[in-house]
Amino acid sequence: MAKIWQKSVTVNELVENFTVGRDREFDLQMAAFDVLGSLAHTQMLESVGLMSNDDLQAVQQELKKIYREIHEGNFTIAAEVEDVHSQVEMLLTQRIGDAGKKIHSGRSRNDQVLVDLKLFFRHELQQVVEETDKLFRLLIELSEKHKDVLLPGYTHLQIAMPSSFGLWFGAYAESLADDLEMVLAAWKITNKNPLGSAAGYGSSFPLNRTLTTKLLGFDSLNYNVVYAQMGRGKTERVIAQALSAIAATLAKMAMDQALYLSQNFAFVSYPDTLTTGSSIMPHKKNPDVWEIMRGKCNRLQALPNDVAMMTTNLPSGYHRELQLLKELLFPAFSDLKHCLQMAAFMLQNISVNADILNDPKYSYLFSVEEVNRLVLSGVPFRDAYKQVGLAIEKGEFNPDKHVKHTHEGSIGNLNNKEITVAMDKLIKSFDFEKVERAINDLVNQ
């Protein structure tokens, strides 16, 4: 079958296979979004006189049918078809005739794939936000539930000062809230409409780009058509930074959990069904979920560099290797969402050790508490420090193990309410409802 761009020359099969690569595989994930872009584009074409109302009605009806087929799992990209854009146009032409040939007026596959990607990324970012928010709420809940259970805090992996499970769970909750600030930046850059930039230099047709922006629920346009094309690669790089931020939080949490589950720490435990065993050591309860998560999230932290290396020396305009960015970003979304879900699943089943600090080796945790107690009684800090240090050296240190931390963010004042209020405000900034209304109107009207 001839390609939609093909004229009289047939491309060598080896060249075609090499250049198409895995595009069909990843384009399937963009299929519904390709249809959404065409629904908006054809409405705009009719509004500026480039498509008759009869043709518009035929195209819209068939596009919505294809959209349903995609969601029902009945859509494929034929082996002889290059990409999802060609497949949709081919289906339209086969089913409704010449009207299907008119949908490409005023656009190029360059801006068609750009809008598909923006819509796909927007959808995936929303799912990442929703999964992150679920984990955040669980962490806050666990922080409140276990706020009075103390555990050792470490610096340099040395016993340092008293901490608590309230602080530990709450710390990761607040970290996720900060990570979503980066996701919000990625969302804002993603949620701009490139449609109408064509091959990267606009069109001589009187396109109404503001209309397609509204129809697709974008916040605004990528106004400059050259920049719209330059945004491919940049958008992926910013998204990669956001995903890697969440991954860094999860990787650190996973490392803590792997340590805390070991017999040397024994701070937490999980049901036997959530850990794995050894082929020769019958006592083993391995934290495989956390270890796999740590590995996946460490790999995700390399994502920004991978994207940068793919695009760092490209001049303006379209270049074919940009399609390889799909191979980096698409699996990254899946891996991160899965890690977020598994972290929540594991933490829903965690048990904490309420008696950790009864072990004598943790007595030194309270050295700073004792120094502070002496300071409050009038002893100069440096003298109090030396006094406690000498007691430790002589083996005479017998601390009071009651912790009295009251300042903001400390053991006795977690500020979980304030952290949650900030998270609520952040989530509202995404305005997912606006996008959902626009897409619902596009496919149901």
CA dihedral 357, 362, 363, 369 (to 10 degrees): -80
The CATH number assigned to the domain holding 292 equals 1.20.200.10
pLDDT digits (tens, 9 = 90+) for 181-228: 999 999 999 999 999 999 999 999 999 999 999 999 999 999 999 999
- End position of a domain, from candidates 332, 357, 382: 357
The whole-angstrom separation of Cα 161 and Cα 21 is: 55
* pLDDT exceeds cutoff 90 at 391: no
What does pLDDT average to over the chain?
Answer: 91
Indicate whether 233 belongs to any domain.
Answer: yes
Q: Judge if 91 and 131 occupy the same domain.
A: no
pLDDT band at 284 (very low <50, low <70, confident <90, very high): low
Q: Judge if 125 and 93 occupy the same domain.
A: no
Indicate whether 390 belongs to any domain.
Answer: no
Which stretch of DSSP H or E encloses residue 221?
strand 220-221
Indicate whether 344 belongs to any domain.
Answer: yes
Report residue 36 as tokens. 């959404």
Region of poorest pLDDT, from 58-67, 119-128, 228-237, 269-278: 269-278
Indicate whether 431 belongs to any domain.
Answer: no
Indicate whether 154 belongs to any domain.
Answer: no
* pLDDT exceeds cutoff 90 at 81: no
pLDDT band at 320 (very low <50, low <70, confident <90, very high): confident
Higher pLDDT, 164 or 368: 164
Domain count for the chain, please give it.
2
**In 227-254, which positions are buried (b, 16+ CB within 10 angstroms) versus exposed (e)?**
ebbbbbbebbbbbbbbbbbbbbbbbebb
The whole-angstrom separation of Cα 438 and Cα 364 is: 60
Please report the pLDDT score of residue 20 as a whole number: 67
pLDDT band at 156 (very low <50, low <70, confident <90, very high): very high
* pLDDT exceeds cutoff 60 at 3: no
Q: Judge if 269 and 297 occupy the same domain.
A: yes
Indicate whether 424 belongs to any domain.
Answer: no
Q: Judge if 274 and 296 occupy the same domain.
A: yes
Average pLDDT over residues 316-324: 86
pLDDT band at 397 (very low <50, low <70, confident <90, very high): confident
Look up residue 197 and give its amino acid.
S
Please report the pLDDT score of residue 5 as a whole number: 45
Region of poorest pLDDT, from 9-13, 100-104, 242-246: 9-13
Please report the pLDDT score of residue 2 as a whole number: 47
Q: Judge if 41 and 176 occupy the same domain.
A: no
- 368 Cβ contact list (under 8 Å, min separation 6): 161
The whole-angstrom separation of Cα 122 and Cα 439 is: 12
- End position of a domain, from candidates 316, 331, 357: 357
pLDDT digits (tens, 9 = 90+) for 331-390: 999 999 999 999 999 999 999 999 999 898 888 888 888 888 888 889 899 998 998 889
- 254 Cβ contact list (under 8 Å, min separation 6): 290, 291, 293, 294, 297, 343
Domain that holds residue 332: 109-138+168-357
Indicate whether 57 belongs to any domain.
Answer: yes
The CATH number assigned to the domain holding 86 equals 1.10.275.10
Q: Judge if 125 and 205 occupy the same domain.
A: yes
Report residue 339 as tokens. 């890690």
Q: Is the pTM of this model over 0.85?
A: yes
Q: Exposed, middle or buried, 138 (CB in 10 Å: 0-12/13-18/19+)? A: middle
Report residue 133 as tokens. 């928010």
* pLDDT exceeds cutoff 80 at 232: yes
Q: Judge if 208 and 350 occupy the same domain.
A: yes
Q: Judge if 67 and 125 occupy the same domain.
A: no
161-to-123, 335, 367 alpha-carbon distances in Å: 43, 36, 8
- End position of a domain, from candidates 357, 383, 410: 357
Higher pLDDT, 18 or 415: 415
Q: Judge if 203 and 337 occupy the same domain.
A: yes
Average pLDDT over residues 108-117: 94
Region of poorest pLDDT, from 202-216, 224-238, 305-319, 390-404: 390-404
Q: Judge if 285 and 326 occupy the same domain.
A: yes
Q: Judge if 255 and 330 occupy the same domain.
A: yes
pLDDT digits (tens, 9 = 90+) for 19-55: 666 777 788 899 999 999 999 999 999 999 999 999 9
Q: Judge if 188 and 63 occupy the same domain.
A: no
Indicate whether 347 belongs to any domain.
Answer: yes
